[in-house]
Amino acid sequence: MLLDQMTLSEKIGQMNQVNASDSDITDQLRLDIAAGRVGSVLNQVDVDTVNELQRIAVQESRLGIPLLVGRDVIHGFKTVMPIPLGQAATWNPDIVREGAKVAAREAATAGINWALAPMIDISRDARWGRIAESPGEDPYLASVLAAAMVEGYQGEDLIDIGTIAACAKHFAGYGASESGRDYSTTNIPENELRNVYLRPFKAAVDAGVATLMASFSDLDGVPATANKFLMRQVLRDEWGFRGFVVSDWDSVRQLAIHGLTENDKESVFQAVTAGVDMEMAGESYAHNLEELLEDGRIDIEMIDAMVANILSVKFRLGLFENPFTDPAALPAIANEEALETARKAALQSAVLLKNDGGVLPLSAETLNSIAIIGPLADAPYEQLGTWIFDGDSDLSVTPLRSIRDMLGEDIEIRYARAMANSRSRPTGSFAQAVEIAADSDAAILFLGEESILSGEAHSRANIDLPGAQAELVRQIRKTGKPVTAVIMAGRPLTLTNIVDEVDAILYAWHPGTMGGPAIADLLFGVESPSGKLPVTFPRMVGQIPIYYNHKNTGKPPSPDTVVLIDDIDARAPQLSTGMTAFHLDAGYTPLFAFGHGLSYAEFDYQNVRSSSREIGMGDTVTISAELANNGSVAADEVAQLYIRDLVGNVTRPVKELKGFKRVRLEPGQRVTVDFELHTDDLAFFGRNMQLMTEAGEFHAWIGGSSETDLRTEFRIIDSE
């Protein structure tokens, strides 16, 4: 067995991941790899350099153990898919899986065999810059998409060419960073952790994810990188995870900065005993593990088990048989299939938030001219979004270009950028933008955030449209022309100050390489929008965290109990407010609800019913509804199933997503959508932290958003 032949130094070497981003391999790196002191490198993407690194590892090191070559391949490699939050808005695991598959194949051409993705941190906080990378706020949607992404990267078998190991991150709770400030503390009670934040990770583990990454964040006083409960108890003992856990970048040494340990040696002790198998950057494992063994504070069995976890992934990848990469054996970068996947993902990710008077789709037949305005209409780099180390903006097709290509000479297209970037404050160029809008039959504004405004360490406390964009909207509005806003952003923005100033809003997130063609098709009705929000849009930032699957409280608000600040009765101020859970200046509803998304078709749900009024524990119930397309165009609709468990030994959310289906309906078509629910699907972690389903009354809704009120009921009867 390989492990038996390894010296202690070689074992510790496997637990060491080093940055190898330099274009020339440094002498130190050559020496370290040849001496067996490196198990993995990251951030090298030149295939010849990667092959040379592998050659050193397999030919010059004593045991010839190949390297894991890691990279943040988050939403594409050269061909960029929409940001993960945008992909979540597709509610389509097939397209998400396909996107990860394309990313894996392209990354594999560079010799990368390990993607540091999917990021599956639930987030209920749009201020957090990394919400762009997240699947949103819902544990069920996130779990389905987590599994799809793992399947996409890893394929059927990691031995297959073009598949790469995935890494579910950041374990766990990072998305709950206080006030959305990146790297901040998280306070998540265990019950909430289990019922919400851990669920997508369990799904990734069940889908066979090869690795996990520990989070930077502090969870209830114990930073995740030192958190034995997370990595030993939950991940290994309860879930039976067999791969390995990597720290985040230098997060082992940061344990001292957190104030958990006094020095690097103690940090290593904490991380290794908690179950971090490999250290990313930092090299404190390399410098301290041997001494900890000599001191007798850790034993060799622990190290052996961790090294075995790492080696097992290298075996799964087939690296011992062939560590080298021949790019010619893989599909070409940005081939037709890759671009088509990116286009389809962008198409399905865009969410039509509002469409007053059916201003969209625009009709090439009735318009003579349009004005295209704004800093993001023709911004090839910005439309790619955050985390695109390798993304190629030369491949980007912008909306301006696509609209021009689509309309040719038929319609006059006038373009004004109006702002240097999304943050600009000068309004000097607005007059020209107003002029072209006034001269045209319709205006399309391309607004939002540049890519730099979201992502790691790019959190915002104010999530309005930045710079002078709202002012631009107001000025264009005055022309009286129909105004459509296409918003590209890395997060939900608070749109309250512009929502009434525009006729339609298409929320395109950062749509990636093929954003342009997708948006053009949607604006001009070649396709109907079909994205649905994977996260709640607040009216104002002070409502955060606001999410659909909240608890009821003992004083739930209702339209009758809400009294807004201007309506307080001066004579009896105490009595006039409803004494329920709402904000005096915001009420309690969001601007746009989770699951919301309009269509050019007219979808109508009816007759929501349950196959039985009562079921026994262990049985299945079918919840179904009639769905009709009463409109005049064919379109996809995402039908959503929500339930409420009315009474629980811990309080349950007012609604929980339990199923969804993307279906395509022709005009006039009517289908039955049905969802099977096994009583296990209704399980939650109760007071004793055990997963269980309780007997009792359930409500179930089906509809096109979390706001649906089409409800049925069923009851689980305890047979004992």
Give the residue numbers marked as catalytic: 248
Q: Output 216 or 603, the one with its CB closest to ligand BGC.
A: 216
Rounded least distance, CB 50 to ligand BGC, Å? 16
Q: Order of strands across the sheet with 620-629?
A: 603-610, 620-629, 670-678
**Contact characters 699-718, ligand BGC, x per CB under 6 A:** --------------------
> Phi/psi of residue 35, each to 5°?
-85, 0
Tokens 């107001």 map to which residue? Answer: 474
Rounded least distance, CB 116 to ligand BGC, Å? 4
Size of the site for ligand BGC (CB under 6 A): 6
Rounded least distance, CB 209 to ligand BGC, Å? 14
Q: Candidates 197, 249, 547, 548: give the one binding ligand BGC (CB under 6 A).
A: 249
Rounded least distance, CB 127 to ligand BGC, Å? 17
> Phi/psi of residue 277, each to 5°?
-75, -35
Q: How far apart are CA 6 and CA 13, in angstroms?
A: 10
Q: Output 115 or 508, the one with its CB closest to ligand BGC.
A: 115
Instruction: Based on the shown chain and the rule CB under 6 A, indicate whether residue 248 belongs to the binding site for ligand BGC.
Output: yes
Instruction: Based on the shown chain and the rule CB under 6 A, indicate whether residue 169 belongs to the binding site for ligand BGC.
Output: yes
Positions in 297-356 near ligand BGC (CB under 6 A): none
Q: Output 386 or 679, the one with its CB closest to ligand BGC.
A: 386
Q: How far apart are CA 542 and CA 563, in angstroms?
A: 17
Q: Output 227 or 640, the one with its CB closest to ligand BGC.
A: 227
Q: How far apart are CA 274 and CA 269, in angstroms?
A: 8
Q: Output 201 or 249, the one with its CB closest to ligand BGC.
A: 249
Q: How far apart are CA 327 and CA 47, in angstroms?
A: 8
Positions in 635-654 near ligand BGC (CB under 6 A): none
Rounded least distance, CB 455 to ligand BGC, Å? 10
Residue 697 in contact with residue 682, Cβ under 8 Å?
no
CA 694 from centre of chain: 31
H/E stretch holding 17 reads strand 16-19
Q: Output 224 or 635, the one with its CB closest to ligand BGC.
A: 224
Residue 634 in contact with residue 571, Cβ under 8 Å?
no
Rounded least distance, CB 169 to ligand BGC, Å? 6
Residue 146 in contact with residue 172, Cβ under 8 Å?
no
Alpha-carbon separation of residue 510 from 596, 662, 706 (angstroms): 18, 22, 24
Positions in 212-241 near ligand BGC (CB under 6 A): none
CA atoms in the 13 A half-sphere facing the CB of 450 = 13
Q: How far apart are CA 165 and CA 159, in angstroms?
A: 10
Q: Output 125 or 378, the one with its CB closest to ligand BGC.
A: 125
Q: How far apart are CA 266 and CA 260, in angstroms?
A: 9
Residue 155 in contact with residue 97, Cβ under 8 Å?
no
Instruction: Based on the shown chain and the rule CB under 6 A, indicate whether residue 279 belongs to the binding site for ligand BGC.
Output: no
Rounded least distance, CB 302 to ligand BGC, Å? 25
Rounded least distance, CB 386 to ligand BGC, Å? 11
**Taking Cα atoms as reference points, which of 224, 222, 245, 223 lies closest to residue 116?**
245
Q: Which amino acid is it at 195?
A: N
Parallel, antiparallel, or unpaired: how do β-strands 16-19 and 279-280 relate?
parallel
Tokens 């078709």 map to which residue? Answer: 601
Q: Output 71 or 127, the one with its CB closest to ligand BGC.
A: 71
CA 291 from centre of chain: 40
**Contact characters 528-567, ligand BGC, x per CB under 6 A:** ----------------------------------------
Q: Which amino acid is it at 462?
A: N
Q: Output 255 or 522, the one with its CB closest to ligand BGC.
A: 255
Please report the beta strands in 411-565, taking only residues with DSSP state E, as ranges in sequence order.
412-416, 442-448, 483-488, 504-507
**Contact characters 19-58, ligand BGC, x per CB under 6 A:** ----------------------------------------
Tokens 């995402």 map to which residue? Answer: 638
Which residues are 213's β-sheet partners?
246
Q: State the residue number with the nearest CB to ligand BGC.
A: 116
Q: Output 130 or 316, the one with its CB closest to ligand BGC.
A: 130
Helices and strands of the chain, counted as H and E runs: 21, 26
**Number of residues that this document lists for the chain:** 720
Q: How far apart are CA 137 and CA 197, in angstroms?
A: 9
Rounded least distance, CB 702 to ligand BGC, Å? 36
Tokens 């407010």 map to which residue? Answer: 577
Rounded least distance, CB 114 to ligand BGC, Å? 10
Positions in 658-677 near ligand BGC (CB under 6 A): none
**Taking Cα atoms as reference points, which of 275, 265, 219, 225 lies closest to residue 248?**
225
363: left (phi over 0), alpha (psi -120 to 50) or beta: beta
Q: How far apart are CA 154 and CA 331, in angstroms?
A: 16
Positions in 105-124 near ligand BGC (CB under 6 A): 116
Which two tokens mark 662?
């993307």
Q: How far apart are CA 293 and CA 297, in angstroms?
A: 6
Q: Output 281 or 504, the one with its CB closest to ligand BGC.
A: 281
**Taking Cα atoms as reference points, which of 707, 535, 704, 698 lies closest to residue 612?**
698
Q: Output 72 or 503, the one with its CB closest to ligand BGC.
A: 72
Rounded least distance, CB 366 to ligand BGC, Å? 48
Residue 211 in contact with residue 248, Cβ under 8 Å?
no
Rounded least distance, CB 250 to ligand BGC, Å? 8
Tokens 């390894």 map to which residue? Answer: 6
**Contact characters 596-635, ligand BGC, x per CB under 6 A:** ----------------------------------------
Please report the beta strands in 72-204, taking only residues with DSSP state E, as ranges in sequence order.
114-115, 167-171
Q: Output 72 or 98, the one with its CB closest to ligand BGC.
A: 72
Positions in 430-459 near ligand BGC (CB under 6 A): 456
Rounded least distance, CB 42 to ligand BGC, Å? 6
Q: How far apart are CA 82 and CA 342, in angstroms?
A: 7
Q: Candidates 10, 32, 72, 449: give the one binding ligand BGC (CB under 6 A).
A: 72
Q: How far apart are CA 89 and CA 91, in angstroms?
A: 5
Residues that bind ligand BGC (CB under 6 A): 72, 116, 169, 248-249, 456
